[in-house]
Amino acid sequence: MTIHLVKIAVGIGSVDHLREVQIERLRQAKESGGPGELRHLTRNAPRRAAEVLNGGSIYWIIKGYIRVRQRITDFGEAVGRNGKPRCALILDPKLVQTQLLPHKPIQGWRYMEPEAAPADLTNQERKIESSLPTEMADELRSLGLL
């Protein structure tokens, strides 16, 4: 069985912003001689790790909506800035935009059943999304026009 994670992308304003931040983090990781993989550190390791690794993704909440997901390819151990042990989520660098799904604020991450996960955007939906500013697309969607 597969299970997903959902988490707020703190300080991120759009999918493009998340992409830019992750590209920069990956570049810095490679330059520092660390593992050349995209990692996101979290305080707690999922107890249902085997289910997450069975095709699970992390769904990112950006500005109150789940907007994008990334496959979780592995887990690792890491040390945070404060010297405390952390769980490293090893992420596929590919961002997959999803249909918007409103989500309340949460701390940390939560499990999300596959049935609750938003569908990936189709190519046509992705073209429409990318042609509009984020705020305009959100407003049109809230009015039922998109």
pLDDT tens figures, 18-29: 999 999 999 988
Give the number of domains in the chain: 1
User: How many residues appear in the chain?
Assistant: 146
Two tokens, residue 129: 């999304």
- Residue 127 inside a domain? The answer is no
Going 40 to 126 to 66 to 48, the CA torsion angle's sign is: negative
% of the chain at pLDDT higher than 70: 95
**What is the C-alpha to C-alpha distance for residues 53 and 43, in angstroms, rounded to an integer?**
18
Q: What would the mean pLDDT of 80-92 be, rounded to a whole number?
A: 92
pLDDT for residue 57: 98
pLDDT tens figures, 99-120: 989 999 999 999 999 999 999 9
Q: What would the mean pLDDT of 85-111 be, rounded to a whole number?
A: 95
Considering only CA atoms, which of 75, 53, 52, 70 is closest in space to residue 3? 52
Question: Residue 144: pLDDT above 90?
Answer: no
Measured in whole angstroms, how far is the alpha carbon of residue 102 from the centre of its chain? Answer: 15
Q: pLDDT tier at 91 (50, 70, 90 boundaries)? A: very high
pLDDT for residue 111: 98
Which residues constitute the domain of residue 16? 4-120
Q: What would the mean pLDDT of 94-101 be, rounded to a whole number?
A: 93
pLDDT tens figures, 38-71: 999 999 999 999 999 999 999 999 999 999 999 9
Cβ distance 89 to 72 under 8 Å? yes
- Residue 88 inside a domain? The answer is yes
- Residue 77 inside a domain? The answer is yes
Two tokens, residue 22: 């992750």
Residue type, 109: W
Cβ distance 75 to 56 under 8 Å? no
pLDDT for residue 79: 87
DSSP letters spanning 45-79: --TTHHHHTTT-EEEEEETTEEEEEEEEEEEEEEE
Q: Could you tell me the CATH number of the domain that includes residue 80? A: 2.30.130
- Residue 66 inside a domain? The answer is yes
pLDDT for residue 146: 67
Considering only CA atoms, which of 114, 103, 86 is closest in space to residue 9? 103
